[in-house]
Amino acid sequence: MITVDRLTAGYGKLEILQDLSLSFAAEQFSAVLGPNGSGKSTLMKAIMGVNRIFAGSIHLEEQQLVGMPTEAISRLGLAYVPQRENIFSELTVLDNLQLGSRSLPREERPAALDELLELFPILGRRRAQRAGLLSGGEHQMLAIAIGWLSRPTLMLLDEPSAGLAPAIAIEVFRVLQELSQAGITLIVVEQNARRVLQYCDYAYVLREGQLAFQGTAAECLADEETIKGYLGVH
């Protein structure tokens, strides 16, 4: 679904990704792993057109994304959930969801909200609460829900379990797995490699802006050199 070919990208004059080539399959839950500074978030932002591309290409199927503005990329069916500043804290949960549904035709919005609240029942119970008062897990659920409301074919999520208690992080990944099973392609950057590898289909490990490993989740967990050298888990 997404093909990255010889991509060099970064910020200002700084090159973070260097001559990176990889591809993400449609309807697959893919994890992008690696130590801090390896280029994981830079890759996500490059796909969404929010950082500098020095060289290379990114294709969504046959559509070249390099050079397109972010809003145009979003209209192709991509939803990006950044790690921070991903909800309006001063608005209620329902206000955030209604804003998230504005890309849908007006007549489809009520049904979409009803479907969403079945998938995220905690948000229904918190609908009148100010979003800034949500717990960490509820906050992340709301951010994912807003992304889902654009009816994307591809969702990119940056560190969805960051700062969450283990039980809450498991619930977040359970929801992501449900979205994947419903046919949404997922690309997830995650620091907790062992946790996400329990849920994803495929993994890519970056090191210093280059691809160090790719394979199924099971292959990644079985590769002792990758686990110890690049992921920091044992």
Closest by Cα among 229, 226, 206, 201 to 216:
201
The residues facing 29 across adjacent strands are 186
The residues facing 14 across adjacent strands are 11
Which residues have a Cβ under 8 Å from the Cβ of 213 and sit 6 or more positions away? 203, 204, 205, 220, 223, 226, 230
Task: Identify the helix (H) or strand (E) that includes residue 14.
Answer: strand 14-24
Q: Homologous superfamily of 1-77+152-234 in CATH?
A: P-loop containing nucleotide triphosphate hydrolases (3.40.50.300)
84 and 157 in contact (C-beta within 8 Å)? no
47 and 88 in contact (C-beta within 8 Å)? no
Model pTM score: 0.90
What's residue 218's pLDDT?
Answer: 93
Closest by Cα among 108, 221, 121 to 175:
121
DSSP structure class, residue 91: S
What's residue 85's pLDDT?
Answer: 74
Instruction: Return the CA Rg of the chain.
Output: 17
What's residue 232's pLDDT?
Answer: 63
What's residue 167's pLDDT?
Answer: 87
Task: Identify the helix (H) or strand (E) that includes residue 154.
Answer: strand 154-158
180 and 27 in contact (C-beta within 8 Å)? yes
What's residue 233's pLDDT?
Answer: 53
What residue has token string 């206000």?
Answer: 95
Domain with CATH 3.40.50.300 in the chain: 1-77+152-234
Closest by Cα among 184, 178, 175 to 155:
184
What's residue 88's pLDDT?
Answer: 92
56 and 10 in contact (C-beta within 8 Å)? no
Instruction: Split the chain (234 residues) into runs of 10 and give each run's mean pLDDT.
Output: 96 95 96 92 96 96 95 94 85 93 89 88 91 90 91 93 87 90 94 90 94 94 80 57
Closest by Cα among 178, 80, 172, 185 to 135:
172
What's residue 234's pLDDT?
Answer: 40
